[in-house]
Structure 1
Amino acid sequence: MKIFDHVSGSYLDHQGARIYYEVAGNPDGPVLLVIHGGFGHLRNFNYIIPELFSHYKVIGMDTRGHGKSTCGGNGLSYELIQQDAEKIIALLEVKTLCIMGFNDGGTVAYRLAAKAKLFTVEKIVTISSRWRLKDAEDCEELLRGINSGDYKSKFPGIYDLYQLQNPEPDFESFAEDLIRMWFDAEPSGYPDENVNAIGCPLLMIRGEKDLILTQESGSELVALLKNGKLVSIPSAGHQVFSDQPELFNNVVYDFLRPAPLSNRVVQS
């Protein structure tokens, strides 16, 4: 079973950027597209969902400016990342898939599912992922407080890996682009109430102690969906998969199995 290695992938040239992507997992399995969060990279999913590589053909991408992908000259936006993902889906001739996204990756997943035309999204899992600008505004001080110097000192391993991997490293500009994306009030930003166009089953997972995404926001999202479910996992924060890995994995695996899903909120 192959997992992501940051070696065996390919590049897509799109809108001024070189986007790195890989295909791993079970080559005969159903397709699962995974999209990482801000300051992350595709190999994060080796630890988030290790068992899914046995069952799914897993497509991962380093989103613009992250990992081995360049940012290009257009900055960052959820719309641009959505379009990059759509190009990869088309290039790999995928017609049906599930999508999983963490943080910013989940925001992109909402956009992909709401606007899907050339492919069918069967299920979505979002992890601690904002769907409207209000969610960013509610924790504005926290998000705007993430500057490049602060991040480098708090997370030196992530910074060092970025410097090592990225073909055009510029961490200060990268951090500034991310913050601008988080507060993008234009149509290129959050899907907001356009999430009601999502017709497939959707699972939103958050940690009970998450400061980035509230229970209220998750409940309001589920109310807009045709087929949605919210799970808040106790004793867990933003990186719920690290804080409660066993419970997180059980929730994800149960959801991805073929089963009916009704609109409901679940407090685990």
Structure 2
Amino acid sequence: MSYADVNGLRLWYEEHGDGPPLVLLHGGYGAAEMFAPIVPALAHRRRVIAVDLQGHGRTADVARPLRYESMADDVAALLRYLDLPGAQLLGYSLGGGVALRTAIQHPDLVRRLVLVSTPFRRQGWYPEVLAAMSGQDERAGERMRGTPPHQLYTRIAPRPQDWPVLWAKTGDLLRREYDWTPQVAALAVPTLLVFADADAIPVAHMAEFYGLLGGGHHDPGGDGTARPASRLAVLPGLTHQDIPTTPLLPHVALPFLTHQLH
């Protein structure tokens, strides 16, 4: 467990296991602990590096807004700090957006990408989810006091009093429109998309995302040799909230990260 001084930020990370590097990026209002149930399975085959993003967990906030692009630059700076060119990234929700932007902005640093419950444009969320995101602010943060995410933040954050600030900054991020269609279509890094079958993202958006990565356009042939390098997994019986902790996640991610792609 350590800090890396990158981009004017003291970025916290912890390491587990041995093998090719796999960086884990948590969801909004979370921390590296979000992946605790699946880290042992991943660390059996990988050098797992779990990061606390700007203003989350043990990484204190700095005087800049929360943006996918700047947090992606932080992750890239960490990879360079650790001398890890060609790392694999696994990001969930907010962290998935950061992982995707890292691959877009720094393609030389990312070998494979696993995006969990992540849309490629803001309108990829269900309308009711977007409405809830639009209402996130300091007052919403006050209402979340005493919940498990707040309890974790209070226990590990360098400045626990910044909880309302995190909500205000995250709300500002989540209200911003974005559409990364051209960048996703041009993405060269092999990518595994993982969603819950009852996710906060419609199945149609999952299929569209996979299509941008080259999937679902034609029959791959009997031996599958004409299939794209990227993959799509829809995990049954799960929601957006419980997908990052299911044992099914390492079960589908590790073969993709490990096997030679044709």
Q: Return the TM-score normalized by structure 2.
A: 0.84
Residue 133 of structure 1 and its aligned partner are, at CA, apart by 1.6
Residue 249 of structure 1 and its aligned partner are, at CA, apart by 3.1
Aligned to 1:208: 197
Aligned to 2:62: 72
Aligned to 2:225: none
Contact 1:233/1:240, CA 8 A, preserved across alignment? no
Letter in 1 for 2:81: L
> How big is each residue's C-alpha offset from its partner over 1:16-56, in whole Å with a ceiling of 9 and x where there is no partner?
x3221223221xx1111111110111122221342111211
- Percent identity, aligned pairs only? 24
Question: How many residue pairs were aligned?
Answer: 243
Aligned equivalent of 1:194, options 179, 183, 208? 183
1:34-73 equivalences under 5 Å are 34-73=24-63
User: CA–CA distance in 2 between the matches of 1:134 and 1:255?
Assistant: 28
Aligned to 1:265: none
Residue 87 of structure 1 and its aligned partner are, at CA, apart by 0.7
Aligned to 2:232: 230
User: Which deviates the most, 252-261 or 98-107?
Assistant: 252-261
Letter in 1 for 2:257: L
1:77-116 equivalences under 5 Å are 77-116=67-106
1:1-268 equivalences under 5 Å are 8-15=1-8, 17-26=9-18, 29-119=19-109, 121-136=110-125, 138=127, 139-146=129-136, 147-152=140-145, 156-169=147-160, 170-185=162-177, 191-211=180-200, 213-226=201-214, 227-241=229-243, 245-260=246-261
RMSD, aligned α-carbons: 2.1
- Residue aligned with 1:47, SS: coil
Residue 132 of structure 1 and its aligned partner are, at CA, apart by 0.7
> How big is each residue's C-alpha offset from its partner over 1:150-208, in whole Å with a ceiling of 9 and x where there is no partner?
3225xx222122122111231112111111112223xxx56343112221221111111
> How big is each residue's C-alpha offset from its partner over 1:204-252, in whole Å with a ceiling of 9 and x where there is no partner?
11111112x2211111111111433222122110034367x34333222
Contact 1:34/1:61, CA 8 A, preserved across alignment? yes
Contact 2:21/2:49, CA 8 A, preserved across alignment? yes
Letter in 2 for 1:107: G
Residue 112 of structure 1 and its aligned partner are, at CA, apart by 1.2
> How big is each residue's C-alpha offset from its partner over 1:46-104, in whole Å with a ceiling of 9 and x where there is no partner?
21342111211112211000001111011211111101101101111111111100111
User: Which deviates the most, 110-119 or 126-135?
Assistant: 110-119
Unpaired runs of at least 5, structure 1: 1-7, 262-268
Unpaired runs of at least 5, structure 2: 215-228
User: CA–CA distance in 1 between the matches of 2:244 and 2:31?
Assistant: 16
User: Which deviates the most, 48-57 or 124-133?
Assistant: 48-57
Q: Return the TM-score normalized by structure 1.
A: 0.83
